[in-house]
Structure 1
Amino acid sequence: MLYGVCRRKHLIIDGYLFSMIMEDQERTERYNEDALRYSEYFKGKIQTISKVPVRSLDDFSIWYTPGVAAVSRKIASDPDLSFELTGRWNSIAILTDGTRVLGLGNIGPEAAMPVMEGKALIFNYLGGVNAIPIPIRVQSKEEFVKVAKALEPSFGGINLEDIESPKCFFLLETLQNEMNIPVWHDDQLGTASITLAGVINSLRIVGKKIDQVKVVFNGAGAANIAAAYLFKAAGFKMKNMILVDSKGILHPEREDIDALMINNPWKYQLAIETNGERVKGDLSNAIEGADLLISAAKSGPDTIDSRIVKKMNNDAIVFVLANPIPEMWPQEAKENGARIVATGRGDFPNQINNSLVFPGVFRGVLDARAKGVNFDVMVAASYEIANFVEDPTEEKIVPTMEEWELYPRLASAVASKTVELGLARKSDSKEGFYRRAREIIESNRNIYSKLMDLGLIKRMPNGEHKN
């Protein structure tokens, strides 16, 4: 199994915390050692291979000169035909400047490449998408925009990755407005989409309505700012939301509000539109009477005192999404009154994982030859993910990455929504998009399995198998 998870069924109890942390550290160190060793062995995670038959040298006269000239002339007459006559229809660029890579910070474009290759692997394996990692060396956000726009003729979409805030907001907004292909920033949109999906099912379980709940976002970086705007698109009331950053609750009278207006207008706008009661202070003040806490803040079990959950309403919902250690331990949240708890980890129930989102979303926008992606498309994606869980429970509010059927279903929902919104170049029924997505994903996975069976994808060093 490509993505195994280690599940511990025991609870976090006094005296066990230290040994659990040691186990996590030892496992992490082992993965680090394996990653270095295997990267040296395989020399990268992806490669480009031909997909057309070459029966003899004469076939090059079809695939290259002189035959290729006819294809070029056809595309010159209508550039959109590049989606039909070349691999552009199924290709995206993963663009980064390496300024915020994982938890490592600004490590530069070269050091970002292993992460981008890993992302490309997931795109290909789960979504059948040909994703090309492109770390770039740029000095300004304007230069980044120029590079991205110059690459547009080669790709059907752009995935922005691991870019520092607030630059990432500027890049996403600018490129979405100025490019005719979908532009997605997974740290914003992917995390926001899967968060909304989990919240939809959580509210179904506790019997609360979207337009009535009070939501507190702890942390005001890329993920939670995007989530706040996505929640608005899904029908949550802005006046019922409160955002808390390292300086406290966002509100229009904060002393840094003028600086926010200049340096981070996206955060500034939320300071103006949210917090209808104009609550001031810190998280402890914000959480009073809340139905839902979504934290995307500093990693560590003491980032949030779990006792503040007692200040929330009955049937409280707590999402503590920091990795590798959530802001409070799930069991402690439950002991203090939370009914549903989600984290970013696979060894606890309810993992909020954006890998459930981006492969299917890009499969959908590529199949529809979409010109863009917006919050309405993302709301549709979140509902499709939530609805995939037919009988949600307190410990199963979202699917897992092993439920392969999710991805073609998500792709068809996304593709259909782009048609409905007039963003698609190619139209089909939801069932038609589903059949195409499933065919592409299954065919790609079968090719991958066959290459492994034949030994054309090398085994691990010394013939090792890793589950």
Structure 2
Amino acid sequence: MATPSPGHSITYRVAAPASFSASTDLAAVIADHGAALTALDVIESTRSELVVDVSCDTRGPDHAQEIEQALAALDGVDVRKSSDRTFLLHLGGKLESTPTVTLKNRDDLSRAYTPGVARVCQAIAENPEDARRLTIKRNTVAVVTDGSAVLGLGNIGPEASMPVMEGKAVLFKQFADVDAWPVALDTQDTEEIIAVCKAIAPAYGGINLEDISAPRCFEIEARLRDELDIPVFHDDQHGTAIVTLAALTNALKVVEKQLSDVRIVVSGAGAAGHAIVKLLLAAGAHDVVVCGRSGALTSTQEHADPHRAWLAQHTNPRGVTGSLKEAVVGADVFIGVSAPDLLDEADIAAMAEGSIVFAMSNPDPEVDPAAASRHAAVIATGRSDYPNQINNVLAFPGFFRGLLDAHCHDITDEMLRVAAEAIAETIADDELNAGHIIPSVFDPRVATNVAEAVAGVARQEAGSAEGSADTDDAARRNGRTAAPTSAEAAR
């Protein structure tokens, strides 16, 4: 049975006869029906009546209706109104545009707008890079979606995706002071999405692609990275991969194993699974088996999807075949980004001693965490009601903060790796245990640590690139050609 959640929090405005036991009677109904009472506030009181706001976390709409009927069944009680607190939070949206300057007089107006603003426009026209210094571009990210793969809801379209995109923008601001704005596109055509992103790019310092279905998301991100001079980051891929590597780094410390030695099984060959595997390999993992709906991917198979083909060619060195259940036998690590209830307790028992289970399908994980805990040494999920939540908010705010601070134009695997390292190292070794392998999303050190790590790599790589360019320029001035890159040599 589901547990009461703040996501299904309800406030009932109830009128009850004035008596010593009125409040306790209301609270007893909440408890008897399995909800979690969070507040009981007297709104109005007369000699004969109390008006009380009763707030509680429920299991969902049916449970909330059941509680309302139980309250109304009390003698003399009238339920005047019930309010879904989640919907109340979203009324009017969750964002607003707030100026950073104050216009107190005509002089201020003349500088912020015409005629003074024309001088700033001319300066940017002469040097477009000044847009990062003189406009919102320096700190603003576009959160772009087509609504085709929203949470676990699927293809619900751009309008229905907006509450998620607004929430993403709130998290950017709350955790890393990055200004972000939703851009929900009424198209699911790859070329149109790319064209729109290129058209709006001058106003933004980066683009966060969100909830765009695979395999289109791969091409959209790759093309935009090639064709734009601002960083483009698909959070469903790379945010998940960063936090997964961070959690696994600390989980391996708890069980005293090395990434290079362990056998890893990944369930899910979509966007998140692909990115997780690539980052694990870049970080030093060697034995990774990826399982799709038909079982383990092997190099002997043919795949029309180039991303699935890449996984088949770069993983499974032992040639494991068969189903997911067969693949996890003897494995040290299971990472699930796929579908609920694919494994059971017996499957976890068949894993290696000191096993690690990351069951991240939401809202229902690949295996019941309670059952898995009877055999696995460390367990993590994508849910907030279990320990060790793998949550992308640990990654993307600080990651973009670092990119913006470094005036970065591109994203590299090394940036992803150091972001994971920064998250993992937020928890000191003497604080690590099976129930605490990943920091809280509210730990203020996380975004700062990630931003500093990413900015450091970005500046270092930019310096190396500038050095290479300087070498090429010097070589041309001297009438000779610089040494070819390895790719050029291969050609």
Q: TM-score range by the shorter chain?
A: 0.7 to 0.9
- CA-CA distance at 1:307 after TM superposition: 0.9
Match of 1:128 in 2: 177
- CA separation of 1:292/1:313 partners in 2, compared to 1, >3 Å: closer, same or farther? same
Residue number among 436, 452, 458 corresponding to 1:396 in the alignment: 436
Match of 1:387 in 2: 425
Q: Please, which runs of 5 or more residues in structure 1 have no aligned partner?
A: 7-18, 427-467
After superposition, residues 12-411 of structure 1 pair within 5 angstroms as 25-26=59-60, 33-39=84-90, 42-237=91-286, 240-254=287-301, 257=302, 260-261=303-304, 264-299=305-340, 302-335=341-374, 337-390=375-428, 391-411=431-451
Deviations 1:154-181 (A, max 9, x none): 0000000011111111111111222111
Q: Is the 8 A contact 2:344 2:368 kept in 1?
A: no
- CA-CA distance at 1:34 after TM superposition: 2.5
TM-score by length of 2: 0.77
Deviations 1:291-317 (A, max 9, x none): 110011213xx3312211122211100
Deviations 1:308-352 (A, max 9, x none): 1122211100000111122222221121x2100001111211111
Distance in 1 between residues matched to 2:172 and 2:83, nearest whole Å:
22
TM-score by length of 1: 0.81
What SS does the corresponding residue of 2:144 show, helix, strand or coil? strand
Aligned length: 398
Deviations 1:116-159 (A, max 9, x none): 11111111111111101000122411111111111111000000
Match of 2:453 in 1: 413
Distance in 2 between residues matched to 1:24 and 1:158, nearest whole Å:
37
- CA separation of 1:384/1:280 partners in 2, compared to 1, >3 Å: closer, same or farther? same
Distance in 2 between residues matched to 1:380 and 1:284, nearest whole Å:
33
Match of 1:460 in 2: none
Identity across aligned pairs (percent)?
39
Distance in 2 between residues matched to 1:161 and 1:268, nearest whole Å:
24
Q: Is the 8 A contact 1:370 1:418 kept in 2?
A: yes
Q: Is the 8 A contact 2:381 2:390 kept in 1?
A: yes
Where has structure 1 moved over 2 Å in runs of 4 or more? 3-6, 23-39, 423-426
- CA separation of 1:90/1:49 partners in 2, compared to 1, >3 Å: closer, same or farther? same
Deviations 1:171-193 (A, max 9, x none): 11111222111111111111110
- CA separation of 1:32/1:294 partners in 2, compared to 1, >3 Å: closer, same or farther? farther
Distance in 2 between residues matched to 1:33 and 1:173, nearest whole Å:
41
Q: Please, which runs of 5 or more residues in structure 2 have no aligned partner?
A: 9-33, 36-56, 65-81, 467-491
- CA separation of 1:29/1:60 partners in 2, compared to 1, >3 Å: closer, same or farther? farther
Bigger drift between 321-330 and 149-158 goes to 321-330
- CA separation of 1:95/1:163 partners in 2, compared to 1, >3 Å: closer, same or farther? same
Q: Is the 8 A contact 1:370 1:425 kept in 2?
A: no
Q: Which has the higher relative contact order, 1 or 2, with Cα contacts under 8 A spaced 6 or more apart?
A: 1
Q: Is the 8 A contact 2:426 2:445 kept in 1?
A: no
Q: Is the 8 A contact 2:342 2:366 kept in 1?
A: yes
Distance in 2 between residues matched to 1:422 and 1:177, nearest whole Å:
16
- CA separation of 1:424/1:182 partners in 2, compared to 1, >3 Å: closer, same or farther? farther
Match of 1:458 in 2: none
Match of 1:451 in 2: none
What SS does the corresponding residue of 1:241 show, helix, strand or coil? strand
- CA-CA distance at 1:274 after TM superposition: 0.8
The one-letter amino acid paired with 1:340 is V
Task: Pick the structure with more strand per residue.
Answer: 2
Q: Is the 8 A contact 2:394 2:441 kept in 1?
A: yes
The one-letter amino acid paired with 2:260 is D
RMSD: 2.5
- CA separation of 1:116/1:326 partners in 2, compared to 1, >3 Å: closer, same or farther? same
Q: Is the 8 A contact 1:371 1:424 kept in 2?
A: no
